[in-house]
Chains A and B, each alone.
Chain A
Amino acid sequence: MTEIVVYTILLIVLTPPLGAYMYRVYTRERIGRAEGLLYRMLAVDPKAEQSWRRYASSCLWFSVISMVLIYLLMRFQQHLPLNPNHLSAVNPYVSFNTAASFTTNTNWQAYGGETTMSYLTQMLALTFQNFVSAAVGMAVLIALIRGLIRSKRDELGNFWVDLVRSTIYILLPMAILVAIVLMTQGVIQTLGANSVVHGIQGFKQTLARGPVASQIAIKQLGTNGGGFFNVNSAHPFEGGTPLGNFVEDFAILWIAAGLTYTFGRMVGSLRQGWTIFAVMWVLMVAGLVLTVPGERHATPAMQAAGIPASTANMEGKEVRYGPDASSLWAVTTTDASNGSVNSMHDSYQSLGMVGPMFNMAIGEVVFGGVGSGLYGMIFFVIIAVFIGGLMVGRTPEYLGKKIGSRAVKYSAIAVLVPFVVVLLFTAIAVVMSSTVAAAPNAPGPHGFSEIFYAFISMGNNNGSAFAGLTASGPYYAITGGIAMLVSRFVPLLCALALGGTLGRDGTVPFTPGTLRTDTPLFGTLLGFVIVIIGALTFLPGLALGPIVEHLMHGGLS
């Protein structure tokens, strides 16, 4: 319990300093020496701003090239250096899925890391993408904010500048710091090959090793989630001590939380930022309330086997973390688009997964992915402002911008498209025998949850999984890849288009007749809009998955 309380409070306390720092990074005029060098290498004029279309096209080209490079690296890793364990080429489905996954900041892993990816692939393709895919999300957010604060301007900033600054001033230094802390907490960092050890009883065991700490730090900070090892942060070399675990968990939400403060500073009203923070914080705590208590008790199956109800549900959990630190992680990793795990979600109480599935399904806006979480939240804000603004009798306005049909259209599409992708791909998967067979607990509600969870996770760029599902088959790999690409780039383009249209508009002065968007009342409205839209879309699926499973095992006790 203590770690949960400390976590939630520490998040409030540490948001302003990081947010203020990031505000300085994004608004400073002077070009630093290191970044200047990078611009010269990229042949970019850092003073030249881009319209939303140019910004978007830079962003897309960067992502396409990244994705192709990752794909090629995986397909040819057997011919490339830094492959001490002599791993062969990755198959094309998994390569496509993984390329899509890491470019979109999802880090869904249709493979086991230590047995599939060479060190070069891990570092150059995966760890590098962990930085830049996160930086893309942050850059797009900053561009959208510029649209909100500018008036009658076409430009939203320069993508390359925002990308470089996010990487070298925010993600890189923080990752180095966190990596060093983690190394002191038992997370390993080496380029040496796997080592073979002999146990005391004489049997041989291969211990997978590698450059773990460097990848783990950014996997958490950049809300990536793709672990070095198959079991992710449950692995002792990846998760480390309980303190290391806490640091990793905190790193999931820190930047996303800090960005709400950066947002407040940029729009010139900290209250605006804190209102959004508060809505996120409350939804996070609600998720914890839904998930944490259940894990302290035995599951119905355990009880049926004679284990007393007061025993914690430790199936799939690490003993060194215990139920609270595990379920805290389960909630935070799905609040964000992180998806790393330190316990196996498949083994949670049925009702305990409703919260994490819901968190992801609404588009991960409870802090969410770095950048993408806040711009995702802004879509909901626009919808809430539109409905609320009408109710006060004026054309709705947000931060001095009139919310017209274009803004509503972009926001609604951004929210809608991931919903469509998740529901349709799940619908197909649950009626095909081959895909149903990939879920070990099918038929039955739990098998449904496994499949539904997979698409909710991929279709919202989370990347976490119910461990049971075998997702390396062609259907999951391909539709999953499509789901990740669509649900990343449609909202991202909507965010830039929204920024573009708002930036071109003039600004209207605030009057007492204007809907205030920095009050608890608006926060409440926003929270309800998110919960109602999410519930209306996903209730049937959740009812046929975790909810009915829970009810079958003894109802609402």
Chain B
Amino acid sequence: MATQAPAQAPAPEPRTEAHAGGVKARPLFDPPIVKRAAVDSFLKLDPRTLWRNPVMFVVEIVSLIVTIRLVSDIVNGGPVAFDAAIAFWLWFTVVFANFAEAMAEGRGKAQAEALRKTRADLVARRLKNDGTEETVPASQLRAGDTVVVSAGELIPGDGEIEEGIASVDESAITGESAPVIRESGGDRSAVTAGTKVLSDWIKVRVTADPGQSFLDRMITLVEGAERQKTPNEIALLILLTKFTIIFLIVIVALQPFAIYAGDRLSDSVLVALFVCLIPTTIGGLLSAIGIAGMDRLVQRNVLAMSGRAVEAAGDVSALLLDKTGTITLGNRHAVAFIPAPGVGEQDLAEVAQIASLADETPEGRSIVVLAKERFGIRERELLETRAAFVPFTAQTRMSGIDMDGTQIRKGAVDAVAAWCGREMPAELEAQVERIARSGATPLAVARDRQPLGVIELKDVIKQGLVERFAQLRKMGIKTVMITGDNVLTAAAIAQESGVDDFLAEATPETKMALIKKEQAGGILVAMTGDGTNDAPALAQADVGVAMNTGTTAAKEAGNMVDLDSDPTKLMDIVEIGKQLLITRGALTTFSIANDVAKYFAIIPAMFAAYYGGALNTLNIMHLRTPESAILSAVIFNALVIIALIPLALRGVRYRPVGAEGLLRRNLLIYGLGGIIVPFIGIKLIDLLLALVHFP
């Protein structure tokens, strides 16, 4: 993990937007997906798969009972219009729930298909022991094989580069069209099957057996084939099942109650009340919510290895954020020239600019730009001068230029002082100390072994982080900045960026210790990482997001992979996790609150003929007839599932307003709303039924 980008190393360009390419952002109701989901929703009536959803399974059983009754009534020639309508809408209640699930799965399936096509076409040039090549289908590759890939070819299997360097187009996996450099050794040696070598060639040692590659895993994940129920989902299902049992008993007891009061109730009426009471809304949408939560991550180019990880993201109370790339831009910018006594600021700027002309690092470019902005000093044509560039090395820790017998150097303060062969002037030393204390980096400039001054290089903190961290704090999430910087620098940046805490001079060991300490206190920890030495911490963290640019070890240790390799996304991941839980809770509340209105529709209708119609007083919606009242409630119950599919797929909007605010808001919308909305809905359906001349 690059805890601190060394001055000369190319830093990854942070991306502010999550793009989608291989993983496309689709509209919510994509016509082909809708078409397929419509078909699937009937196939899913198969009880062998439906039983996994106890609530809808029960609805299917009672629908079947009503249908059998209906058939026998038809045979016996009784009046069937009402029973037929009830049976029809009961079946559609199940179909609508299946449709919700199929819609949620459909988006993933479409993506999986595209990925499968990529995989099917892969061919490998395998190196035999004698050094010759043979061409085999990628499916025959085993871990340990070595393959050669040249420009224009697709990499046939996941592996590590043994030899060579190449630019690789990874858009098939990440959707990001800009090529990336992959080379042997270090943290950028991993390559992924299905990506394309654009230039040069590489020799790759395959690390995954067929079916185990990242591409395979990605297909499984986006398809949701191995989706397991998460702990919260299980707990919720238990609660919903218990509710279903309660209402089953209510209905079973109601028939004797009715007999006592005068007469038997018809089965279809009892079933209608039963289906209206049990939590079909949340029961029908529950699995769609879970799948859609995973899918929302995929839309942002994050692959979660399990739903459990997504749920854990909602529970995270500490975010370990790497300074570089997450809190600061990957590089430092020059912000001031501080001349030594007796030197003009403009002179210093001019010399600094010359020294940086050949320096292509962002830091070097920023010095040139600052000199231009402050003093209008133009870049000189380097060709005009007979200049010799002195490159940066780890030994000298300086870079510079020799021209016309003049030597210019810039670099670490102590290195430059050593080059000059003397101490820096006291005034300058004081400035150097001030800069260091403020969290910035001083860079000394000298000409002909004469110190001219220092350049202040500052970490550039990303926009909007202070607000973002404040929001996180409101939601009870602590942010901890991880940096290799010394304590002084770290403290200054921590203060400026608004993080709650920081870990300075971080090593993989101290990072691991920090995670364990937080976890011991009952806190769930999320972090990002990309290096092999991050792997243990990634595995230990409750949510470990590995960067796709990272090593295979890192990717295997974490429980999520960010295809964009954007560490900032950790915060989005947390929000998606919360959104998933909120959506479940909100729709559960809505589902149960709905029952109040359904009682007011069905109870008076059910007992319209009992005790001289005394219970008609409870028909506060003034529904026209008992039949219409019961059917309206059943239709509302079915349609509300369809109406809520967009909400289930998109998720309830998350607002960082703190727990109390969120609860108040959601209780008002889904609790109070859940009580009121069905009164209006059932009344409207009752009026519409009059239009179609339903009695």
Contacts and interface: CB of A to CB of B under 8 A. Distances in A.
B242 A412 contact: yes
B684 interface: no
B242 A393 contact: no
Given A412-B238, A413-B242, A428 B256 contact: yes
Contacts of B473: 512
Contact of B256 (A430, A443, A521, A539): A430
Interface centre among A511, A515, A528 (most CB of B within 10 A): A511
Interface of A, helix, strand, loop or mixed by DSSP: helix
Contact of A509 (B258, B522, B593): B522
Contacts of B586: 390-391
B259 A431 contact: yes
Contacts of B327: none
Nearest to B659: A392
B477 A513 contact: yes
A84 to B, nearest CB: 44
B236 interface: yes
B477 A391 contact: no
Contacts of A180: none
Interface string B434-462: 00000000000000000000000000000
Contacts of A513: 317, 474-477, 658-659
Contacts of A388: 585, 663, 667
A408 B592 contact: no
A430 B595 contact: no
Contact of A512 (B474, B521, B579): B474
A390 B236 contact: yes
Interface stretch (B244-252, B374-382, B422-430): B244-252
A529 to B, nearest CB: 9
A543 B236 CA distance: 30
Given A394-B314, A405-B231, A539-B603, A515 B659 contact: yes
Interface in B658-695: 658-660, 662-664, 666-667, 670-671
B250 A548 contact: no
A543 to B, nearest CB: 5
Contacts of A22: none
A394 to B, nearest CB: 5
Given A386-B239, A391-B585, A394-B315, A548 B607 contact: yes
B260 A431 contact: yes
B615 A551 contact: yes
A553 to B, nearest CB: 9
Contacts of A176: none
Contact of B261 (A393, A403, A426, A544): A544
Contact of A423 (B249, B581, B664): B249
A555 interface: yes
Given A513-B475, A536-B247, A521 B664 contact: yes
B392 interface: no
Interface in B232-290: 232, 234-236, 238-239, 242, 245-247, 249-250, 252-261, 277
Interface in A323-367: none
Interface in B565-594: 577-579, 581-582, 584-586, 588-589, 592-593
B654 interface: yes
B612 interface: yes
Interface in A510-557: 511-516, 519, 521-522, 524-525, 528, 532-533, 535-537, 539-541, 543-544, 547-548, 551-552, 555-556
Given A390-B588, A395-B311, A428-B256, A404 B235 contact: yes
Interface in A479-536: 506-509, 511-516, 519, 521-522, 524-525, 528, 532-533, 535-536
Nearest to B230: A395
Interface string B472-488: 01111110000000000
Given A391-B666, A394-B314, A552 B614 contact: yes
B610 interface: yes
Nearest to B584: A390
A207 B614 CA distance: 46
Contacts of B232: 390, 395
A393 B654 contact: yes
A427 B253 contact: yes
B252 A537 contact: no
B595 A540 contact: no
Contact of B254 (A404, A540, A552): A540
A400 B476 CA distance: 14
Contact of A416 (B246, B595, B617, B666): B246
A476 interface: no
B523 interface: yes
A281 interface: no
Interface string A189-206: 000000000000000000
Contacts of A547: 615, 618
A445 B260 CA distance: 9
A56 B160 CA distance: 59
Contact of A528 (B260, B277, B671): B671
A80 interface: no
Nearest to A551: B614
Contacts of B469: none
A43 to B, nearest CB: 40
Contacts of B599: 535-536, 539
A416 to B, nearest CB: 5
Interface centre among A404, A516, A540, A552 (most CB of B within 10 A): A540
B246 A521 contact: no
Interface string A369-406: 00000000000000100111111111100001001110
A374 B11 CA distance: 60
A420 interface: yes
A228 interface: no
Nearest to B575: A393
Interface centre among A416, A445, A512, A533 (most CB of B within 10 A): A512
A412 B221 CA distance: 33
B660 A521 contact: yes
A436 interface: yes
A24 interface: no
Contacts of A519: 660
Given A405-B231, A509-B522, A537 B246 contact: yes
Nearest to B477: A513
B666 A536 contact: no
A124 interface: no
B618 to A, nearest CB: 7
Given A404-B231, A525-B667, A394 B256 contact: no
A548 B475 contact: no
A556 B477 contact: no
A390 B591 CA distance: 14
Contact of A448 (B239, B252, B257, B663): B257
B664 A511 contact: no
A535 B617 CA distance: 18
A424 B255 CA distance: 11
A320 interface: no
B249 A544 contact: no
A509 B317 contact: yes
A391 B614 contact: no
Contact of B238 (A409, A514, A515): A409
Interface of A: 383, 386-395, 400, 403-405, 407-409, 412-413, 415-416, 419-420, 423-424, 426-428, 430-431, 436, 442-443, 445, 448, 506-509, 511-516, 519, 521-522, 524-525, 528, 532-533, 535-537, 539-541, 543-544, 547-548, 551-552, 555-556
Given A395-B314, A415-B242, 7 more contacts: A390-B582, A391-B663, A393-B577, A408-B239, A427-B256, A543-B603, A548-B610
8 contacts: A388-B667, A395-B231, A395-B232, A426-B256, A443-B260, A512-B475, A513-B476, A544-B610
Interface of B: 231-232, 234-236, 238-239, 242, 245-247, 249-250, 252-261, 277, 311, 314-315, 317, 473-478, 521-523, 577-579, 581-582, 584-586, 588-589, 592-593, 595-596, 599, 603, 607, 610-612, 614-615, 617-618, 654, 658-660, 662-664, 666-667, 670-671
